[in-house]
């Protein structure tokens, strides 16, 4: 039986992806595809996301579908996702970001400083894993979002997949320089590779305005107290974190991070915490908290810090 209906348009409509009269759907199968195929037939999938993206047309609500399997689309070069209203969807189960089996990766053969830059606007990205395993001794990450008003749902951003870039202060997992993007049920960061520098998993830099992170998990593995999960050194207005979890792994819980946030913007930028946001393996939210706003019953230094239950 087919993985999905042979009529791609029917399948996409059922996912709630916007369509236009001229929308096209391109299927990618990293295992059995061929970039010489059209990608518009279930029997003729393309092999790489980059080749499929090249076929899409901006403002057309075209969709690239990536079949989940035990392998991944290993990139030979960075992808510039630069066409507005062009969508990328993994044909995977509706897992929380971390477990996605529709995967786009970079390895030690190409040593990419990042895998993909979403510079287009109005794009929908769902059920995809981005993991960069470069071992080059340069600052690197997984995903850059420089475009505006995009939706990321069930996405895993895994930068610093090797100890060498994980020891550099300028490395990251996700860097955002666009505005009004939504990240829902994303996992940002890795807890399998020790971070040996004060680098961020999420980096909000110049242009990062009014972005929202809902039900997300930001994670790391670090023995370095000065390591942090979120760096904010550019942007304006506000960022929202709602019902999100911030965790750091340390063997036997010996070491904790001093703070989750490093925010150098001060009064030009506010961080709003909605719902229940929790810290584990981290002692505090940030050195400067005057731009942080909580609705917690105890909006003080202990807000959201997880503790072990008593017997």
Distance CA 203, CA 231 (A): 5
Q: Residues 268-275: what's their mean pLDDT? A: 91
Q: Helix, strand or coil for residue 184?
A: strand
Q: Is 62 left (phi over 0), alpha (psi -120 to 50) or beta?
A: beta
68-96: string of b/e by CB count within 10 Å (b at 16+)?
Answer: beeebbebeeebebbbbbbbbbbbbeebe
What confidence tier does 41 reach under pLDDT thresholds 50, 70, 90?
Answer: confident
Distance CA 148, CA 111 (A): 27
pLDDT score at 232: 94
Question: Which class would CATH give 68-294?
Answer: mainly beta
The pair of three-digit structure tokens given for residue 87, joined into one six-digit string: 């969508």
Positive or negative: CA dihedral 299, 304, 308, 311: positive
Inform me whether the pLDDT recorded for 7 exceeds 80: no
Distance CA 67, CA 208 (A): 32
Q: Which residue has the higher pLDDT, 220 or 17?
A: 220
What confidence tier does 299 reach under pLDDT thresholds 50, 70, 90?
Answer: low
What is the separation of C-alpha 249 from the centre of its chain, rounded to a whole number of angstroms?
19
Q: Residues 217-243: what's their mean pLDDT? A: 94
What confidence tier does 298 reach under pLDDT thresholds 50, 70, 90?
Answer: low
**Model confidence over 99-130: pLDDT tens digits?**
888 999 999 999 999 999 999 999 999 999 99
DSSP state letters, 85-110: T-EEEEES----GGG--SEEEE-TTT
Q: Are 23 and 11 in contact (CB under 8 A)?
A: no
Q: What is the overall mean pLDDT for the chain?
A: 91
pLDDT score at 238: 95
Extents of the domains making up the chain: 1-67, 68-294
Q: Are 123 and 86 in contact (CB under 8 A)?
A: yes
**Model confidence over 207-223: pLDDT tens digits?**
999 999 999 999 999 99
pLDDT score at 98: 83
Distance CA 175, CA 179 (A): 12
Q: Residues 276-290: what's their mean pLDDT? A: 91
Inform me whether the pLDDT recorded for 2 exceeds 70: no
Q: Residues 145-169: what's their mean pLDDT? A: 98
Q: Residues 238-250: what's their mean pLDDT? A: 96
The stretches of the chain forming alpha helices (DSSP H) are: 8-14, 49-55
Nearest to 229 by CA among 255, 267, 191: 191
């Amino acid at each position: 039986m087919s993985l999905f209906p042979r009529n791609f348009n029917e399948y996409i409509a059922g996912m709630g992806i916007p369509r236009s009269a001229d929308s096209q759907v391109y299927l990618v199968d990293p295992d059995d595809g061929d970039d010489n195929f059209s990608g518009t037939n279930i029997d003729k999938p393309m092999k790489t996301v980059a080749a499929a993206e090249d076929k899409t047309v901006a403002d057309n609500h075209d969709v690239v579908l990536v079949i989940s399997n035990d392998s991944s689309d290993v990139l030979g070069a960075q992808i510039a996702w630069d066409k507005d209203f062009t969508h990328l969807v993994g044909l995977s189960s509706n897992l929380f970001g971390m477990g996605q089996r529709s995967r786009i990766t970079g390895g030690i053969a190409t040593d990419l400083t990042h895998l993909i830059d979403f510079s287009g606007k109005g794009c929908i990205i769902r059920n995809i894993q981005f993991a960069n395993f470069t071992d080059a001794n340069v600052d690197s990450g997984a995903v850059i979002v420089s475009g505006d008003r995009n939706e990321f749902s069930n996405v895993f951003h895994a930068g610093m997949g090797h100890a060498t870039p994980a020891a550099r202060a300028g490395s990251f997992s996700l860097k955002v320089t666009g505005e009004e993007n939504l990240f829902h049920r994303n996992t940002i960061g890795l807890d399998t590779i020790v971070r040996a520098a004060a680098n961020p998993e999420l980096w909000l830099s110049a242009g990062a305005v009014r972005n929202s992170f809902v039900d997300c998990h930001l994670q790391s593995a670090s023995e370095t107290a000065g390591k942090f999960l979120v760096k904010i050194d550019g942007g304006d207005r506000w960022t929202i974190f709602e019902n999100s979890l911030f965790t750091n792994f340390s063997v036997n819980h010996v070491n904790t991070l001093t703070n989750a946030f490093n925010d150098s913007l001060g009064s030009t930028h506010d961080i709003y915490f909605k719902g229940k946001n929790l810290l584990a393996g981290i002692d505090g939210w940030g050195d400067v908290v005057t731009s942080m706003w909580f609705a917690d019953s105890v909006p003080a230094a202990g807000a959201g810090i997880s503790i072990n239950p008593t017997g």
